[in-house]
Amino acid sequence: MEAFISLWILLCSVFLLNWQLGWTDGLVCNGYDDQKCKTNPDACRRGLLEFCPPEDTDPACFTFWKETAEGDVVIQKQGCWQKDHACNRSYCANSRTDKIHFCCCTGHHCNQLVRLGDAKPRPHVDQLLDHEFRALNRTGVVWMDAQPVKEDPIVIPATSDLASSEKSVAPSVIQPPAEGTTRSSVEPLALTWSSLTTTLVAVIVLICLLLLLLVGYFAFRFFRRQLLGSDGKKVPYDAESPLMMAPLMAAEYADQDGCVLLKNLALLERKAMGRYGEVWKGRLGEVIVAVKITPATELASWKNEVHIYHNFLMPNPHLYILRFILAGQRAAESRMFLVTEYHPRGSLVDLLKGRTISNEEADTVMCSMMAGLAFLHDSDGKPAIAHRDFKSTNVLIKADGTACIADFGLATSFEADERIGDKHGQVGTRRYMAPELLEGAISLNVVSFLRVDVYACGLVLWEILSRTQLTREEIVGIFRLPLEEELGTSPTNEAVQTAVVHKRLRPSFKPSWRLVPRSAGLCQTIEECWDADPEARPSASCLLNRMRQLSTGQINECDSSCRPSAPSASDEVLVVG
């Protein structure tokens, strides 16, 4: 499309240029008026040209002259003439015996040389204006030297604007050039003011039209990028989705205009930025909110998150799931907005980086986090939902110290009539990806997708344990992401696959963690979560029970009835591309 627009602008430019050339495709004649030379000798000395614009008939050039008593020819007037059959010659010529003393011709500057009698025009001229012969062609000013000839003279007049007067006045004697006259002593040939005005107006009009085309082109590209993604791909439109027709609002805002709410939404401070957009602290009316802004290129992620909220989480609100407020698109903007409850304490990573936490704080965070994940995985009253990007940055800390799960851009719901094979894909953050995802194969059943969340949950539990002050004597290290010590802060997919799948590396436990009964039970639970065998991992509801037991001092193994059932023999294996 951009190539077509560029070609269209190029063709329009060529057309305008051709039109401009056609508009100025007139005739340039030598202009002279003996009356003006008498009143303004300077105009005679410098010489001027007359531009003859094309009209109903083709223009021609003319010369009026008279002979003195001594037999000299003196030019009276030169300029533009209406072409007729007598002006078809390419040079200006007439007999000396004619009483009219007039000639006309067709061609640029054809009236500069006046042919007298029947002799052919000669390359040498006997009289020059201000010691020079000058001719103008389409490529610019061309300077030509000439030598005086005393016999059968050809007169080259002084040139000036074509005056409206019809009668000639006293002749102006043109002297022959002095010896030693050089080309450098000659001044450039000047155009008449009317010619300059016509040319300048034409050029300015052309430039303005080209500028308008360029402004239109760049305006088109700007608004096109607003409507499409930065990669130029068409943004998919879902006619079934109510989100593309009107903003989606929480129940407390149902009686208000969602478009007005989005328009008045104020962005106060950017809190985070990632691949799928930015998170801002904002103000909606008098309420401080969190605003997730998604670019048009990631529209699918935004629509998926709003779909999860609209169909499953809003009808079934949960205390430990981030509360939805508003979603929609502002007028004349391509960015998509999702407004949720704001939690000033930030994410779990912010908490763990900032300071160590006590056993009680850790219990509160782990139990509430597992309650939220168990709710997502539960299929009672709604389809089971796999988060598929579970990590510590997507766990937010509320004011009371409990956790809530956020960011459902990659989440998947498993409804009864859907084909599970349509849900596959190697998505998520590679550091938190389960071995079966990294290896490229996963069973085509609901439980297999939920087990991927459990693996990531085990890594988050390890992060919490690593920053918990288990005893007063415990020396707590700095916060590190899972496998950061082994793989660094930005590992490649191949590095993670080699470490997790082939070497079976997992974050390490400090020996002191296993000396305390509570933390020892937590270490065992974490190891079950990140087991290489997906079938050996406990369910989210089983983990919730385990966390509650650990927080109350009841160190019991997870009941086998909580474990996910093994997939049937008919389950397919999905190779992830």
Three-state helix/strand/coil letters over 127-182: CCCCCCEEEEECCEEEEECCCCCCCCCCECCCCCCCCCCCCCCCCCCCCCCCCCCC
Answer for the pair 64, 88: CB distance below 8 angstroms, yes or no.
no
Q: Tokens at residue 556, please?
A: 């019991």
Question: Per-residue pLDDT for the chain (577 aa), expressed as one digit of tens each?
Answer: 455 555 666 666 656 555 555 445 678 888 888 877 777 766 665 457 788 877 656 788 888 888 777 777 778 888 888 877 778 888 787 755 555 678 888 888 888 877 766 444 444 333 434 333 333 333 222 333 333 333 344 444 433 333 333 333 333 333 333 443 333 333 333 444 455 566 677 778 888 888 888 887 777 766 655 444 444 444 443 434 444 445 777 777 777 888 888 888 999 999 988 877 899 999 998 899 999 999 988 888 999 999 999 999 999 999 999 999 999 988 778 899 999 999 999 999 999 999 999 999 999 999 999 999 999 999 888 999 999 999 999 999 999 999 999 999 999 998 765 666 555 556 788 899 999 988 877 776 788 889 999 999 999 999 999 999 999 988 999 999 999 998 998 899 899 999 999 999 999 999 999 998 889 999 999 999 999 999 999 999 999 999 999 988 766 544 444 554 444 333 443 433 3
Q: Which stretches does DSSP call E strand in 1-58?
A: 27-33, 48-52
Helices (H), 136-257: 193-227
Answer for the pair 104, 61: CB distance below 8 angstroms, yes or no.
yes
Measured CA to CA, the distance from residue 66 to residue 75 in angstroms comes to 7
CA-wise closest residue to 465 among 348, 362, 556, 549: 362
Q: What is the dihedral of CA 218, 219, 221, 224, to 10 degrees?
A: 180
Q: Tokens at residue 477, please?
A: 């290290």
What are the residues whose beta carbons fall under 8 Å from the beta carbon of 325, sequence distance 6 or more? 249, 250, 253, 284, 289, 339, 340, 341
Q: Does 389 qualify as catalytic in the annotation? A: yes
Measured CA to CA, the distance from residue 63 to residue 136 in angstroms comes to 18
Answer for the pair 541, 375: CB distance below 8 angstroms, yes or no.
no
Residue type, 129: L
Give pTM, 2 decimals.
Answer: 0.57
Chain centroid, CA 45 distance in Å: 58
Phi, psi of 29, deg, nearest 5: -115, 155
Any idea where the domains of the chain sit in the sequence? 18-198, 242-341, 356-575
Helices (H), 228-296: 258-263
Which position among 161, 363, 389, 453 bears the catalytic label?
389
Measured CA to CA, the distance from residue 260 to residue 244 in angstroms comes to 16
Measured CA to CA, the distance from residue 108 to residue 86 in angstroms comes to 17
CA-wise closest residue to 296 among 385, 239, 368, 223: 223
Q: How many CA atoms lie within 13 A of 355 on its CB side?
A: 5
Q: 403 in helix, strand or coil?
A: strand
Measured CA to CA, the distance from residue 301 to residue 321 in angstroms comes to 18
From the candidate CATH numbers 3.30.450.190, 3.40.30.10, 2.10.60.10, 3.40.50.11780, the one assigned to the domain spanning 18-198 = 2.10.60.10
Q: 269 in helix, strand or coil?
A: strand
Measured CA to CA, the distance from residue 440 to residue 575 in angstroms comes to 5
What angle is formed at CA 234 by the lines to CA 233 and CA 239, rounded to 5 degrees?
Answer: 155
- Strands 140-144, 277-284: parallel, antiparallel or unpaired by DSSP? unpaired
Q: Tokens at residue 349, please?
A: 């990573």
Q: Tokens at residue 338, please?
A: 């999702």
Q: Which fold has domain 242-341?
A: Phosphorylase Kinase; domain 1 (3.30.200)
What element of type H or E holds 443? strand 441-443
Q: Which fold has domain 356-575?
A: Transferase(Phosphotransferase); domain 1 (1.10.510)
446-466 helix and 540-551 helix, angle to the nearest 10 degrees:
30
Measured CA to CA, the distance from residue 2 to residue 12 in angstroms comes to 15
Q: 288 in helix, strand or coil?
A: strand
Chain centroid, CA 311 distance in Å: 34
Structure letter (DSSP) for residue 321: B
